[in-house]
Chains A and B, each alone.
Chain A
Amino acid sequence: MRVSNMPDDTRSDEDLILAERQPASPVGGGETEALNTLFKRYLEPLRWFLLKHSWFKDDTHLDDLIQEILKIAFIRIKSGKFQSEGAGSFRRYLYKIASIECKKQDIARAGQPIPLSSRFPLVETGVADDVASSATGRRGTELVALPTATPSLDLFQDDRRYKKLIKALKTLSGEEIRLLILVNRKIPYKEIITYPMFSQYKLDSLKQKVYDIRQKVERINQEVKDEE
């Protein structure tokens, strides 16, 4: 049985690309399954990244964009344009493609031409906590507080962050998750308390419950941060 056929392929991204690139032989190489595994790994983090950094929130639009990003990554891997530069280089490369695609979407929305310099942004440095919420430095929401002169983004940080959030999500109870799914779908508290499974709550106690869950998530986030 090849390693890639096992339920959880723990090989690094770069090892998977290598496995695909090497000529097929009795001991391995030429594994198309390797890229399959690689791309599946990034479906969820990429969607989260786009949700966080782009203005569009529509699922079909997000699907189109993720497909586009994966196609670009695939073509570059196959054509040899992507060269591994050690651990994490593919992840960095993929998020760079994603941030460029975000930028293109931003610009298409504004109807402006794409300046050459912006097509190859260098976005390797850290994020100040008041940085704009768009990958491109454009304001996605009104929640952004202070203007920042240099749009910058630590793409690695984003990938780690998503994993952290999922860790936090896994610690919640079934009831808490069901409640969060409802509020996430923008169902008003007033309506939620009419559902049989939440009938024990009054409006205030439900509000408090959601607040408590947020505090819990915040604490778990903090614990994961401390462990690191």
Chain B
Amino acid sequence: MKNNCKRYGQAITDYVLGEEIDCPKEELMSHLKACAKCRAELTNWQDFQNALRVKEHHSRPEVKEKWDRFIRELVSPSQPAESGRAPAEHRGILNIEEKVGAPAGILYQALARNGEVKIEHLPQITELPPPKAYSAFGWLACQKKVVMRQDDKGTYVALTPLERERSQAQI
């Protein structure tokens, strides 16, 4: 069994990463069913990938700032503790950064992938409902990250050349 384990080591590594594996998937699965050591290795690798994702996420300044603000608001003494509800004048008010800022990130990535698109196609390329997609566009427009162009066929939007470069350099 141990020799077999060596054989599946690379496959386990690649499988978790969504890469092609160098043996039939069914073969790997049946080995995993039988071998507790390899199952543990696979779980460790998955867990490690998740930990890396979490670390990377929390190292972003905007994420840090968002959570600082959320916790500060949560624990501030003005918050009524028993009900946990916001004061009446704040009820129903949404966190704009969360509701519009997050979709704006999705739109940014979609525009980076798709280049110039027709404005009415924003919901399709982002897979967001139209109000969210258009408010996300507004957010990016305010930040001067997008440009618009119009011709006989319609209105087109795209990332600014600078943002396009940035999005490519990110990787």
* A binding-site residues for B, Cβ under 8 Å: 32, 35-36, 39-40, 43-44, 47-48, 51-52, 59-60, 63, 67, 70-71, 74-75, 78-79, 129-130, 133, 142-143, 145-146, 161-162, 165-166, 168-169, 177, 180-189, 195, 207-208, 210-211, 214-215, 217-218, 221
Which chain B residues numbered 12 to 52 have a C-beta less than 8 Å away from chain A?
12-14, 17-19, 29, 32-33, 36, 39-52
Q: Does B152 contact A (CB under 8 A)?
A: no
Interface residues of B (CB under 8 A from A): 9-10, 12-14, 17-19, 29, 32-33, 36, 39-58, 66-68, 70-72, 74-77, 79, 81-82, 84, 98, 102, 171
User: How far is B58's CA from A108's CA once the two chains are assembled, in angstroms?
Assistant: 28
Cβ of A161: which chain B residues have Cβ within 8 Å of it? 47
CA distance A93 to B46 in the complex (A): 25
Across the interface, B45 reaches (CB within 8 A) one of A186, A208, A214, namely: A214
When A44-B58, A63-B98 are in contact, do A211 and B13 touch as well, CB less than 8 Å?
Answer: yes
Residues in chain B near residue A71, CB distance under 8 A? 74, 84
Known: A70-B74, A166-B55. A40 touches B18 (CB 8 A): no
Contact sample, A vs B, 27 pairs, CB 8 Å cutoff:
A35-B74, A44-B58, A60-B102, A70-B70, A70-B74, A74-B81, A75-B82, A78-B81, A79-B82, A161-B47, A169-B52, A177-B52, A180-B49, A180-B52, A183-B17, A184-B17, A184-B56, A186-B18, A188-B19, A207-B10, A207-B19, A210-B13, A211-B13, A214-B13, A215-B9, A217-B44, A217-B45
Q: A interface, by DSSP: helix, strand, loop or mixed?
A: helix
CA distance A146 to B29 in the complex (A): 11
Given A75-B82, A145-B39: A43 and B51 interface contact (C-beta under 8 Å)? no
Cβ 8 A contact of A145, one of B13, B33, B79, B81: B33
Query: Looking at the complex, which one of A43, A162, A181, A218 makes contact with B67 (CB distance below 8 Å)?
Result: A43
The one of B13, B40, B47 in contact with A129, judged by C-beta atoms closer than 8 angstroms, is B40
Select B17's contact among A162, A166, A210, A215, beta carbons within 8 Å: A210
Task: Give 9 nearest A-B pairs by CB, closest first.
Answer: A78-B81, A165-B51, A35-B75, A75-B84, A51-B50, A145-B33, A48-B54, A47-B54, A211-B13
Residues of B within 8 A of A143 (CB): 32, 39, 42-43, 46
B54:A51 contact, CB within 8 angstroms: yes
- Which of chain B's residues have a CB closer than 8 A to the CB of A70? 70-71, 74
Q: How far is the CB of A78 from chain B (nearest CB, A)?
A: 3
Q: A residues within 8 A CB of B29?
A: 142
Q: B75–A32 contact, CB under 8 A? A: yes
Q: List chain A residues, Cβ under 8 A from B50.
A: 48, 51-52
Known contacts A51-B50, A52-B47: A32-B84 contact under CB 8 Å: no
| Chain A residues whose CB sits within 8 angstroms of the CB of B19 once the complex forms | 183, 188-189, 207
CB distance from A35 to the nearest CB of B (A): 4
By the criterion CB–CB under 8 Å, are B74 and A207 in contact? no
CB nearest neighbor in B for A182: B171
Bound state CA distance, A43 and B58, in angstroms? 9
Question: Are the C-beta atoms of B75 and A145 separated by less than 8 Å?
Answer: no
CA distance A185 to B48 in the complex (A): 13
With A63-B66, A143-B32 already in contact, 19 other A-B pairs whose C-beta atoms are closer than 8 Å:
A44-B54, A44-B58, A52-B50, A60-B102, A74-B81, A74-B84, A78-B81, A79-B81, A79-B82, A129-B43, A143-B39, A146-B33, A162-B51, A162-B54, A169-B51, A184-B17, A214-B12, A214-B13, A214-B45
